[in-house]
Amino acid sequence: MDPRTTSLLTLYTEGRTRFTKVLDTLTAADLPKKLAPSPNSAGFLVRHIGDVELLFAKNVFGHTDVQVRASTVAKGYDTGEWTDLAALKAYVQESAETLRRAIEATSDADWDTVIETKEFGKKTKAEALGRIVTHTAYHAGQIGMVVKYGEWAS
């Protein structure tokens, strides 16, 4: 692997630890919790992280073979359906592995390639990687707050 790619993969891996640490302590009882007035449960946020990681692998890194049904993005709101802890953990494990493979396949020169998405406009692949790292960490923080202070949705 090229040196820049190795460094950026290390950054992604370390940045995702905020999420993996909260995921390790998550219980099935935590998944329906919400922090008022937020409409999103912990389960929705876990699924959303996986959805967006898969979208990044496909749309930012060009891995068009990635199959993704980004239900949290498509629906745009929490339907309360994300309550199976084992399924959610498997989903975000697969999303992480898929994104990792996409990062590993990127050459050093390709990190400066400009991509454009409707969500965040024009960015280099390196800048887009920063976006996904901060996206995951942001929502991991939300999950931590929901688990600690949230209540079960009624």
* pLDDT tens digits along 91-122: 999 999 999 999 999 999 999 999 998 888 99
Superfamily in which the 3-152 domain is placed by CATH: dinb family like domain (1.20.120.450)
For residue 7, give Cα distances in angstroms to 14, 43, 68, 152.
11, 31, 27, 40
Phi, psi at 115, each rounded to 5° = -120, 160
pLDDT above 70 for 139:
yes
pLDDT of residue 59: 92
pLDDT of residue 71: 92
Distance between start and end Cα atoms, the chain? 50
In the numeric block, which tokens belong to residue 47?
Answer: 């699924």
pLDDT of residue 21: 97
pLDDT of residue 38: 87
Domain boundaries, the chain: 3-152
